Structure 1
Amino acid sequence: MSPAPSRPPRLRAVFPVASRAEARRIGEILRKETIGGILLVTFAAVALVWANSPWADSYFALRDTEIGYEPWHLKLPLGDWAADGLLAIFFFLVGLELKREFVAGDLRSARTAVVPVVAAIGGVAVPALLYLAVVGASADEASGWAIPTATDIAFAVAVLALVGSHLPGALRIFLLTLAVVDDLIAIAIIAVFYTDSIDLVPLLLALLTIAVYGVIAQLSRRLFHARPAAAWLILLPIGFVAWALMHASGIHATIAGVLLGFTIPVLHKRADRADDAGPGLAELFEHRFRPLSAGFAVPVFAFFSAGVAIGGVDGLASAAADPVLVGIVVGLVLGKPLGITAATWLVTRIRRIDLDPALRWIDIAGVGVLAGIGFTVSLLVTELSFAAGSGQADHGKVAVLTASVIAALAATMLLGARNRRYRRAARSAGDPAAEMDRASGN
């Protein structure tokens, strides 16, 4: 009797238990993003109420007020300053996080990177296809195909932090890594598909300025480590010039923020690497500037972007009948979890990779539901897809807000139930932290 064929060895688990340093970093991000997510929702709610109040004219007058220097083509409405300018701060942090993940994080290894990368691709492709299936690939509304492909990391992580105190650390790392890759895809989509024309001279000057910025950041790591004000006095003016030139080139100016973030060094110079060297410059900048992004830039953008005049019951009925709204809601609420879960299942089967032993597929599905919170980037893509003030643009924004709320509530229920199960399991195992939770009434 011939021996049974041996089963091919499986690779190591996806996102095994993280190191203490990585766990502390993830926890720090979770705490900051919780506050940022609350501010984001608050500012968006204020804008929505104001835009539908008897004083709506004052809101739109404020949003359309133009300021800036006309000779440099920078006399823009406040709404555009928020979308093009303030969001560049958000995308600068995205650039920092992307580089850190590729240089020193989970994406530096092909074995751990393949799953979140494929999951993010699935979470982009399926919502886009569902949107096109609803509106029709040849219709005018098809230009909004990218709206349901984005994930708002601030909002999503805020929800996870509020309901996921006992969820496995591997699940949190999976969400963050997935969102980072999702942001990278969104950046590529904005740069490639939402650029009508390119002026090469400003673009080349912008790239040259970014290169100068990077050289200074690389050569002056110790200075920027020791003196926080030096970044404001030296790097900020250069970064603003790069942003203005990118804006003049025709490419969306937020791309400048990403490229500037890519230039910041992640690791110390070889001579400075020691156990007590502290965090690298990219991590230090992320720590310093994230409050500016989460506490000001993104909420202000949400305030100027989320203000949509719904028009009462008739307006809601009109929006609900618009294929744009249906396509976005279907893409975010159904397409995101379907694409992420299916892509994760497929790649783990093909590559013979096990999930972390602490995870279940329902947890992955919960992250997929959570990723359906589009908000910031989806609102930005809505503004890039349709003419400002058009019915499609307004309906698109209503759809993004509606889908994000539905996804947040659904994820809260699903992951909240999973969190309670993990908490009971921890108590049964005699986890001291769970005992402290029980004593405090949590």
Structure 2
Amino acid sequence: MHFPVAVQARPIVRVTNFIQEFSVPLILGVVLGLIVANVDHHWYEVVVEFNPFGGHTGVFGHELTLHFIINGMFMCLFFGIAAKEITESTLPGGVLNPVRRAINPLAGTLGGVFGPVGLYFLMAWFFYGDTSDFSAVAKGWAIPTATDIALAWLVARVVFGPLHPAVNFLLLLAVADDAIGLVIIAVFYPDALHPVQPIWLLLVVAGMAAAYGLRRFHVRWWPVYILVGGTLSWIGLAKGGVEPALALAPIVPFMPHGNHGGGEPTDEAHTHASDAAPHPHTTDHGAHSVLEQFEHQLKLFVDFGLFFFAFANAGVAFTSIGWVTMMVLVSLIVGKAIGVTLFSWVASLVGFPLPPGMGVRHLVVTGVIAGLGLTVALFVAGKAFPGDSPFQEPGKMGAVLSIGAALVALVLGKLLHVRQEGLRPRLILPWIRL
């Protein structure tokens, strides 16, 4: 018996959706990287630093090792999709438009940055204040500011229930956190081997101008924006001494995000409410905006490609666990929980209330879940501590172990009784489209 192609494809689609939903490639990459690095760390480094083009072939002073290709090129797409999420949140009907609707979650976002940073500096001073290593260790302050959106969403749905307003609250917090993270990487972590040369950043401006021009001419094929604007931006950042993985962040916002390709935003994509927070990987397949096509056509590739990112960055020997590991881990879980809770609570006191159905106990658990830093935390750890730094591997191990925030949140959620089955909340935030 022969079944229609669509019927035959359904199991594949279901498996693919499951793999994306539970971030399976990312988690497998972390596990495999840890195993290989602890079985034969030398072989692991040989693989990661392998140059497939031979010798010391490079581009603009960057050797084309697998590590650089993954971190400096592939991650452009990852941060590009993050920029897409941030852009959509600012459109009419998005969670940051008007801003007043999002004041409380945004206050929590600031707390989720200042809390971990303050705790990290406090521990750095306590453990290394009287040593010559203090300044080197202090450079890792930004590692615990990160939140992994996909993993945080997954854990939040399990802890709170899929219909709880805390899920939307956390997604907004994570999106805003990503925006802050992009700025932190660009401003505070320039390329140590290539001093900042501002003149080259004019190419980034040229890339933005090119993307704007393409939008004005109603170009509706997203690869053109990447090839023209993205290339100029990447060269400008690479030559200018700024992290080139951020090349698409200033280009993506110029992609047409309305349904008519004219460049003006429309409300159509944001007018439908949803009872449950959507999955971060979900895209409206019926939408035709260039911005949404960009995400829809690249998301599968990026999600599976995160396996290689995790493998190339999470390969840390367990013997490297030290005080910096503990500092990153505690700052992520405890610092986030304190910061998010305190700042959002204060915001509610001054007239910017929490969503209906949320209280202080929900904020505490939300802050713990936001401590799942993994992806971006690993990336920042590689930038905060140079390759020859004795603190890079301990810092990365702290980022990897932040997966433990999921277990802490599950236990804490049970103790505080935050899960409400069958809840159909009246959300004060619009549907978050990620």
| TM-score of the superposed pair, with normalisation by structure 2 | 0.79
Residues 36 and 91 (structure 1), Cα distance of their counterparts in 2 relative to 1, 3 Å cut: farther
Counterpart AA for 1:344 = S
Deviation sequence 1:208-260 (CA, Å, 0-9, x none): 02321232144335x33xxxxxx33x333222343133212101112212112
Q: Does 1:284 align with 2:293?
A: yes
The answer to whether the Cα contact below 8 Å between 1:33 and 1:157 also exists between their aligned partners in 2 is no
5 Å-filtered alignment, 1:28-177, equals 35=21, 37-53=23-39, 55-67=40-52, 70=58, 72-104=60-92, 105-136=94-125, 139-168=135-164, 170-177=165-172
Contact 2:81–2:295 (Cα < 8 Å) also in 1: yes
Q: CA deviation at 1:151?
A: 0.8
Instruction: Tell me how far apart the structure 1 counterparts of residues 301 and 198 of structure 2 sit (CA, whole Å).
Output: 32
The aligned counterpart of 2:276 is none
In structure 2, runs of 5+ residues without a counterpart are 1-16, 270-285, 425-434
SS of the equivalent of 2:251 reads: helix
Distance 1:182 1:275 in 2: 26
Alignment match, 2:8: none
Q: Tell me how far apart the structure 1 counterparts of residues 157 and 44 of structure 2 sit (CA, whole Å).
A: 33
Residues 372/217 of structure 1: CA separation in 2 closer, same or farther (3 Å cut): same
C-alpha displacement of 1:175: 1.1
**Displacement, 1:33?**
8.7
CA distance in 2, matches of 1:347, 1:98: 22
CA drift at 1:355: 2.4
1:424 Cα deviation (Å)? 6.7
- 8 Å CA contact 2:203, 2:235 repeated in 1: no
Range that drifts further, 275-284 or 174-183: 275-284
Superposed CA offset, 1:247-292 (max 9, x none):
1210111221211222223224389969699453323322222222
- Sequence identity percentage: 27
The higher radius of gyration belongs to: 1
Task: State the shift of 1:418 in Å.
Answer: 7.3
Please name the residue that 2:376 is paired with.
377
Give the structure 2 partner of residue 408 of structure 1: 406
Among 175, 181, 184, which residue is 1:186 paired with?
181
Task: Flag the 1:275–1:40 CA change in 2: closer, same or farther, 3 A.
Answer: closer
Q: Which residue of 2 aligns with 1:237?
A: 227
**C-alpha distance in 2 between matches for 1:416 and 1:107:** 31
State the alpha-carbon separation in 2 of the partners of residues 419 and 118 from structure 1: 24
1:307 to 315, 330, 351: 315
When residues 192 and 33 of structure 1 are mapped into structure 2, their CA distance, relative to the original with a 3 A threshold, is farther
Seen in structure 2, the aligned counterparts of structure 1 residues 271 and 373 have a Cα distance that, compared at 3 Å, is: closer
Q: Which amino acid aligns with 2:334?
A: L
The answer to whether the aligner puts 1:260 opposite 2:256 as a matched pair is no
Write out per-residue CA displacement over residues 364-408 of structure 1, whole angstroms, 9 at most, x where no aligned residue: 222111100111111111111112143210111111112x12211
Q: Which amino acid aligns with 1:61?
A: V
Contact 2:207 2:231 in 1 (8 A): no
CA distance in 1, matches of 2:369, 2:213: 39
The structure in which a higher percent of residues are helix is 1
For 2:144, the aligned partner's letter is P
